[in-house]
Amino acid sequence: MQIIKSFVKLLVFICPFAVTAQSTFLSQGDKGYRFIDRLEIKQQTNTHLNFSTLKPFNRKYIVRETEFLDSARQGFSDSTGVDKFKDWTDLDMSEVDEYNMHSFLMNNSEWVTGPKESFLSKKAILGGFYKTKPNMLEVNVKDFFLAVNPIIQINQAIEPGYDQAIFLNTRGATARGMIAGKLGFSTTITDNQERGPQFFQQYVAGAKAVPGVGFYKSFKGTAVDYFDARGYITFNAAKYIDIQFGYDKNFIGNGYRSLFLSDWGNSNLFLKLNTKIWKFNYQNLFMELMPQFDKSHGDVLLDRKYAAMHHLSMNVTKWLNVGVFESIIFGRKNHFDFQYLNPIIFLRHIEGSVGSPDNALVGGDFKANIAHHIQLYGQLLLDEFVLTKIKNDPGWWGNKFGMQAGIKYVDAFNIPNLDLQFEYNRVRPYTYSHNDSVSNYSHYNQPLAHPLGANFQEMIAILNYQPAPRLYLLAKLIYYKKGLDSSNYNAGGDIFRFDTNRFGIDEGYKVGGGNKITCLNALVQVSYELRENLYLDASYQYRNYKYVNDPTQKSTTSLVTAGIRLNIAKRDYDF
């Protein structure tokens, strides 16, 4: 990764005068994501919002589009006349939408060009804190912006039949800012103690990893203690090229899950170049990752592996966006291959030219906004693909691919702010795995894409309803079937297991084959926003996990949770 760090320094040295105002990004789980999603679907024809496949969102770009749409729907025009805005003047906004728009602009005030008086608190605390409603400390002077906020999440839960308390205690702080209109920065630090439900504890013990985070220690026997720190800087190398360098998470896709790159696992060190011009958006992502490891024998220096990913999307029409994706996981420990730094070459060609030792994946995605209420989206991922085998031998082990199909329906059945989402994910056996322990599609003992790995099919249904500005209702249903491995049969579901370890069996692999299990995971949640970004939460979760061939092997979880959180998304157990 030293070469990537040097690459960043070189860009800053070469392009110091080309650097322009640079933005930070919406944090993971920010409520602004749902607002932007709704705005894009309801408005339908804004080509800039169609680039929302790549997350996190750039605050500057999203605020500019939100302000533009807000002005357009109110009938403001420029010298060319109001006809320029005819596609936006019919944008239907409910009272709740108006509240969400104001909240979104208020939480990203450094990029707001309109009036900001409504963002101010009636009275600051101790004369200097919370002068604005969303930020504990905000500084906005010439050449310097800074917003600092505390982070708190306290959850207490009861799991019937389990005599230990389920809890999550999170404390921390987050800060973002901009220097001289040229350098943006963001940092988030939290200290956490967590005892999740029993199936969460079993996952941690088996994977030797806590979902979503990295290094951890045991705490009070069955709980974990972990420190989560993220941060990055951003700047421009040229007018249309944004650069971000840091330690955080990225997501590629339009669904609840992603088959390309997910933010479900641990953060990683990365360099990201994003080029946005005309109808194209092109992202280059270079990452330093960690291969599978076991620290049960004490602290050791962990090995490294590397990844390069490209995603090119195009607005084919004002309502249709299509994209292509490719990635390489470098199959060499502690060694970066300089050839993969080329940002505009087909990675599969490089992988072949160096002897084809690495794990190469390609894919495509699409998103279509229809009738101001519906979005269709999907992904197709190809790990290996031989057309003759697909036709003549669909059970061949090397048919490694996955697919996603989904639909979002906003203001469903003409009920304002009732949003539905349905998603289907299916991944063939052995997808994401490779012939060594380094180049599988993983980082820090967790999958880089879908948390279930491979050899599964999954159905997701989500209901979001905001009947009043501060009241949020969520219902989520996840059902999946998966095939597990055994000691003498590799069913292709464990991406950490070598794909060469097939015990001489090359045929007959089907999705869900092996030791079949099913899982139903349902959640109902109510949240109330006491003040900006401060929530009271109450939820009930039911999970039923069982083995198809032996119904006596099953586990059932009921979880009743209550909590309070400030400036952070609620912790999910959605697997």
Q: Write down the pTM of the prediction.
A: 0.93
User: Cis peptide before 115, with omega less than 30 degrees from 0?
Assistant: no
CA pair distance 305, 295, nearest whole angstrom: 17
φ, ψ (nearest 5 deg) of residue 436: -150, 175
Rounded CA gap, 249 and 116, in Å?
31
Tokens of 94: 């409910």
pLDDT tens, the chain, 575 aa long = 555 555 555 455 445 444 566 789 999 999 999 999 999 999 888 777 888 999 999 999 999 999 988 876 665 544 444 444 455 445 778 999 999 999 999 999 999 999 999 999 999 998 889 999 999 999 999 999 999 999 999 999 999 999 999 999 999 999 999 999 899 999 999 999 999 999 999 999 999 999 999 999 999 999 999 999 999 999 988 889 999 999 999 999 999 999 999 999 999 999 999 999 999 999 999 999 999 988 776 777 888 999 999 999 999 999 999 999 999 998 666 667 777 777 776 666 555 555 557 899 999 999 999 999 999 999 999 998 788 888 889 999 999 999 999 999 999 999 999 999 999 999 999 999 999 889 999 999 999 999 999 999 999 999 999 999 999 999 999 999 999 999 889 999 999 999 999 998 999 999 999 999 999 999 999 999 999 999 999 999 999 999 998 888 999 999 999 999 999 999 999 99
Q: Which of 105, 77, 103 is nearest to 89 (CA)?
A: 77
Distances (CA, A) of 407 to 41, 254, 290, 457: 11, 10, 34, 17
DSSP letter at 301 equals P
Closest-CA residue to 174 (of 164, 191, 187, 161): 187
Q: How far is CA 414 from CA 84, 87, 487, in A?
A: 28, 20, 53
Token pair 């999954």: residue: 458
What phi and psi, each to the nearest 5 degrees, are found at residue 102? -65, -40
Task: Please list, residue by residue across 191-202, b when 16 or more beta carbons sit within 10 angstroms of its beta carbon and e when fewer do.
Answer: ebbbbbbbbbbe
The confidence score (pLDDT) of residue 334 equals 64
Domain boundaries of the chain, sorted by first residue: 2-566
Question: 């919406």: which residue's tokens?
Answer: 26
3 state DSSP class of 240:
coil
> What Rg, from alpha-carbon coordinates, does the chain have?
24
Alpha carbon distances (Å) from 552 to 161, 263, 545: 17, 35, 11
Spatial CA neighbour of 189 closest among 247, 262, 109: 247
pLDDT at 80: 43
Which CATH superfamily, name and number, covers 2-566? Porin (2.40.160.10)
> What's the full length of the chain, in residues?
575
d(CA 252, CA 360): 17
Q: What are phi and psi of 500, to 5 degrees?
A: -85, -15
Helix, strand or coil, per DSSP, at residue 85: helix
Q: Check residue 14 and give its pLDDT.
A: 43
- How far is 56 from 382, CA to CA, in rounded Å? 24
CA distances from 57 to 36, 70, 85, 427 (A): 10, 19, 24, 27
Task: Spell out the residues 6+ positions from residue 80 whose beta carbon is closer than 8 angstroms to its own.
Answer: none
Q: What DSSP character marks residue 261?
A: B
Q: What pLDDT shows up at residue 4?
A: 54
Q: How far apart are CA 382 and CA 470, in angstroms?
A: 43
The amino acid sitting at 325 is F
Place of tokens 């490779």: 434
Contacts 24+ apart (CB under 8 A), 273-277: 273/237, 273/241, 273/242, 273/243, 273/343, 274/54, 274/58, 274/241, 274/242, 274/243, 274/244, 275/240, 275/241, 275/242, 276/51, 276/61, 276/240, 276/242, 277/240
